[in-house]
Amino acid sequence: MEAIEGKSETPAEMLPNVSALDKIIVAAAGPLFSFLLAFAFAFIVWGVGKPTTEADNTTTIAGLSRLDPRGRPACVRVTRFWKLTAIP
């Protein structure tokens, strides 16, 4: 660890022992803060909005080639839904 943290002035033998409660607190703090971070990101996405494309927000059907007997496309738009007028 000296390569990452550097040389310590206090030898390891002089450091106080870590209690079991301290270990439990550290073990519980990691998942707790991960959960809180997930909630923070969820609130950001909720407030700003999820990015979507035009294809996600439209009901347009492209490339209709079949026509009903009157010469109209087989699908007619009714409000936000499509209704079949002729079934081949």
pLDDT in tens, 53-78: 776 776 665 555 566 677 666 655 44
Looking at residue 43, its pLDDT comes to 94
Beta bridge partners of 67: 73
Mean pLDDT (whole number) for 14-41: 94
79 pLDDT exceeds 50?
A: no
Provide the pLDDT confidence category of residue 50 given band limits of 50, 70 and 90. Answer: confident
- The residues, ordered by sequence, that sit 6+ positions from 69 with a Cβ below 8 Å of its Cβ are 86
- The residues, ordered by sequence, that sit 6+ positions from 71 with a Cβ below 8 Å of its Cβ are none
- Give the tokens for residue 37: 């971070």
Looking at residue 4, its pLDDT comes to 78
- Residue 85 class from Cβ within 10 Å (0-12 exposed, 13-18 middle, 19+ buried)? middle
